[in-house]
Structures are given as structure tokens and as C-alpha cells.
Amino acid sequence: MGSLDKPNALRLITLFSGSVKGMAFYPPSHPAIRQPLMELYKTLTTALSGGEYVSWGLIDGIMFFDDHLFLSPSTAIADLTERMMEKEIARIIANPSVSFDELELFVKLFSSRNVRFDTLSAQMAEGGITSIKLVRHGDESFDHGDDDAEITSDGDHIASYNRALSAVRMICSDIELGRIPGSAPLIKVVDEMVAITMEEPWSLLGLTMIKDYDNYTFTHCVNVGVLSMALGAALDLDIMSVRDLGIAGQLHDIGKVMIPKNILNKPGKFSSAEYDEMKRHPELGSKIIREMDGLAPHISSVVLGHHLHYDRSGYPQWATQLPFNQMIDIVAVADTYDAITTLRVYQHPVNPKRALDEMQKLKGTILNGSIVESFIEMMGDYPVGTLVRLDTNEVALVYRPNPLDGKAPLVRIVIDGEGKRLRVPREQVLIGPDGSRYAEIVAVVDPLLKDIDIGQLITGGITEAA
């Protein structure tokens, strides 16, 4: 297999996606295409320098390049994913004999819309492309990783998360183009997530630690949907209510698409006028939702009111006297938790355990106190995504709560007692069913100081050696 590290593997995928997209607008000789094609070829030949093939494609809806999984899809990855699914392609394989001319022709053929697997394969054969092969979706299972790591139910959960990201991204794209978005893709993926959540409310919580800072609105919306569903299930709400919470959570911030980008992405403090503009997003989002087919009317009410605050000191002020049900308080709690645990240009992220402490201070004013208490109980003493130090001097990541003992969650050990980073994190029960003790948590660790990507550990389990 190839020898690219993850950043360069991502660069190759991005170059390939960009070249494919650009072919629709420029001839191959145009500098806008020629330059990225040449860089793509250079990167590909570097990957092939080991003398073996390399491959990239989709596994459970997740883009991969050789042994690298890209769990938080960029726009380039999302575009390439869509094209590969449209063409029924699971995997693209290149071998060391690939020439620049072959690669250029392949990109040109691949860029054509409405050309599926059989037609594309025939065109490649006709054009003399022999060093690039395609694998049809469903024709090959992909065994990923050198350490016999398997993508099991976690992989299914990640695939659902990525489908949710794509659905939210599609809705936002439609809004930007002035179209009324469709709701069917979002409803479909929320139904998948509801089925998982109703069986095990905590099972998707780890996915909310996926933080894509370049696509904050998308990941934040999906995370709020996941947290809202989990909290609704923990409160014993019926399945339809949990479903509506998932939809409302994932749509709660879509009004921000209508806010000018220079305000939305401003790193510093808003001026009074800019803040007034930003405060319009709940109304804008509510209006969009009312125009969408297939959504219950109260979902637009939840979106309208998610910044009203429990004591109704928030915005929009004209809506403070409107009747709202419990869903608005649930989404507000989920929104607050995900926002304060996320790195922003103006904010250092708060670790999950401290975030719960911060939310305690908001009870009765910004947040509904009883809902906050239920959320804290659901998350446990050490919420999923918390990096902790054990009394064995090992560093571990909390990946599941322990409903029988909040101080002894299930963990993945990522750094051993000697300070060595483990390539494959080791799952560990801190206290066994018979009461036997492995270790106790003695401190919370800042992942930034350890250069640890919490989202990757939660969802993948394969890390680079330190």
C-alpha cells in the first residue's frame, strides 16, 4: 500500500475532487485544471513510490484513502462522495504504472454526470486506461487497517452521522440558491438515528465530539440533533417526540445561512448592528421550515424559540409570550453544551466535564434547571469525550457512560503508564461486574496539550503513533 500520511492523503483526495469538478468548466489544458492535475499526479506517484497500488473510495459512506478514514467530510469530500455514489463506485485503484495522460483522461471521463459504472468502465477501456481500476459498490468488502481493526456498529453510526451532515449541507445549499429545501433525506437519516437512540440513548453521544471547525454550522447542527434525541430518550419521551427533537435539533441554526458571511464568520466581538443581524437567525430558520414539506408545525416553533432562554430574556423578544413545549428547553440545553465544548476562533473549548459545571450556573435563567439536571445525569460524572488520567498514570478517553457507576465509565486507554501513545487504543472497564478494580480516575486532561483528536478516537480508534 501507499506511504502518504493523513494530511497528504487528504490533499490528494481534495485535488482529485477539485480536478473532477473543474473539468466541467475548463478544458484540460487550462491552467485552472492543468496545475491541480499536475500536483495530483505528483502526489499520487509519491503514494505509489513503494511499488504497490493505492486506493480510495467509500466504506459505509465514509471516504478513505488506503489506511486513512476521513470522518468529518469537507466540501470536496462531500462532492466526491456524491459523485461516487451516483456512479455506483466503491473504490478507485491506481498502480505504479499510471501515466499523467491516463490520469488526465480518467479525471475527464469521471467528471461527466449521468455516467454510471458500466459506461465509465467501457470508456476507460476504450481510452486505453489500464493502470486505474474501478470496484463497483457491493462487489467488494473492504478490510481497513493493519491491526485487524473492524468497523462494526460504530462504523454504521458514523455512516449515519455523515449522512446527516450531507442532508444538512444539502438543505443549506438549497437555501443559498434561493430554493425551498426538501426534507426527505434529513427525515430518513433522523429515523435511522432514532432507532439507535431509543434502544441505547448513549450510543451516539461519542459522535458529538466530531468537531469540524471549517464546517462548524453543519457539525454543530447534527451534534445538537444527536444530543437532543439522546436527552429526549433519557426523559422517556415517545418515539415521535424523539424524532421531532432530532429534526428540530439538526435544523435549529439553518437560519444562519441567511446571515451575511462577514458577520457569521467574524472572529471578534459583534457591533450592536451586527449582533441585531445575527439575532435574526431563529426567525429566518423558522420561516424556512414552515415552507418545507413533511415537517410538523411545532418544529418551526422550536427553531424560533431556541434562543428565547428559560426566563424569556433572550430573542426574538416579540415571541416571548408564545406557548412553547418542552422541546425548546431540550434543544437549548443540547445547543449550549455543544457550543461550549467546541473550539471557535474566539473561544477555547471547554472539556465535557467542566461544560456540565458551566451549565449548572445557567439553571433557571438561560436553561431549564430540571432539563439540565436530567442532561447531567445522562452524561455521567465524566461525559463521553472526556480525556482523563488514571491512578495507573495512563491517559484514557471516556467513550461510554456506566449507568451503574458514574465515576467508573468505560474508557479507551490512549497513553500507557510510561507516557507512550498506543497505536490502537485499548478498551478498559475500570470496575468489573464482580467489583474488581482496574483503576480510578484522578484528573481531567486537556486533549490539546496531548495533541489528541477526540473525535478520531471516539469514532475510529486507530491513531498515529506519537
Would you call 421 helix, strand, or coil by DSSP? strand
| Radius of gyration in angstroms for the set of CA atoms belonging to the chain, rounded to a whole number | 24
* Structure confidence at residue 60 as a pLDDT band (50, 70, 90): low
Q: Last residue of a domain, which of 105, 136, 167?
A: 136
For the chain, how long is the longest CA-to-CA vector? 70
Sign of torsion over alpha carbons 158, 164, 168, 170 = positive
Would you call 94 helix, strand, or coil by DSSP? strand
Shared domain check, 164 and 79: no
Helix (H) or strand (E) holding 390: strand 387-390
Beta bridge partners of 444: 388
Shared domain check, 431 and 359: no
What integer pLDDT is reported at residue 27 of this predicted model? 76
The yes-or-no verdict on residue 351 having pLDDT over 90 is no
417 HSE (CA, 13 A, CB side): 5
Mean pLDDT across the chain, nearest whole number?
A: 85
411 within domain boundaries: yes
Helix (H) or strand (E) holding 58: strand 54-59
157 within domain boundaries: yes
| Domain count across the chain | 3
Would you call 89 helix, strand, or coil by DSSP? strand
Shared domain check, 371 and 394: no
Q: What is the pLDDT of residues 123-142, one digit of tens each?
A: 999 999 999 999 987 664 43
Rounded CA separation 296/440 (Å): 47
Q: Last residue of a domain, which of 359, 379, 399?
A: 379
Q: What share of the chain is helix, strand, coil (3-state, %, to 5)?
A: 50, 15, 40
Task: Give the least confident one: 249-258, 276-285, 320-329.
Answer: 320-329
Q: Which of 57, 37, 152, 147 is nearest to 98 (CA)?
A: 37
Q: What are the φ/ψ torsions at residue 202 (nearest 5 degrees)? A: -90, -10
Ramachandran sector of residue 60 (left: φ over 0; alpha: ψ -120 to 50; beta: rest) = left
Shared domain check, 364 and 419: no
Ramachandran sector of residue 419 (left: φ over 0; alpha: ψ -120 to 50; beta: rest) = left
* C-alpha cell, 192: 435511522
Shared domain check, 118 and 235: no
What integer pLDDT is reported at residue 465 of this predicted model? 29
What integer pLDDT is reported at residue 427 of this predicted model? 85
- What one-character-per-residue DSSP string does 96-165 give? TT--HHHHHHHHHHHT-TT--HHHHHHHHHHTT--SEEEEETTS------TT-----HHHHHHHHHHHHH
Shared domain check, 223 and 186: yes
125 within domain boundaries: yes
Shared domain check, 267 and 159: yes
Task: Give the least confident one: 278-282, 286-290, 418-422.
Answer: 418-422
Q: Which of 380, 451, 435 is nearest to 411 (CA)?
A: 380
Task: Say what the pTM is.
Answer: 0.66
* Structure confidence at residue 154 as a pLDDT band (50, 70, 90): low
166 within domain boundaries: yes
Beta bridge partners of 56: 65, 92
Shared domain check, 308 and 180: yes
Q: Last residue of a domain, which of 379, 406, 439?
A: 379
142 within domain boundaries: no
CB 309 within 8 A of CB 362: no
Rounded CA separation 75/66 (Å): 20
Mean predicted confidence (pLDDT) in 58-68: 77
466 within domain boundaries: no
* C-alpha cell, 363: 439553571
What integer pLDDT is reported at residue 363 of this predicted model? 96
146 within domain boundaries: no
Range of the domain at 105: 6-136
Rounded CA separation 57/81 (Å): 8
The yes-or-no verdict on residue 146 having pLDDT over 80 is no
Shared domain check, 181 and 32: no
Rounded CA separation 362/372 (Å): 9
Rounded CA separation 221/243 (Å): 15
Q: What is the pLDDT of residues 6-31, one digit of tens each?
A: 889 999 999 999 999 888 777 777 77
143 within domain boundaries: no
| CATH number of the domain where residue 291 is located | 1.10.3210.10
Q: Which of 251, 199, 242 is nearest to 222 (CA)?
A: 251
What integer pLDDT is reported at residue 71 of this predicted model? 66
Q: What is the pLDDT of residues 202-225, one digit of tens each?
A: 778 877 877 665 567 788 999 999
Shared domain check, 399 and 293: no
Rounded CA separation 38/30 (Å): 12
Shared domain check, 342 and 305: yes
Amino acid at site 106:
F
Shared domain check, 393 and 372: no
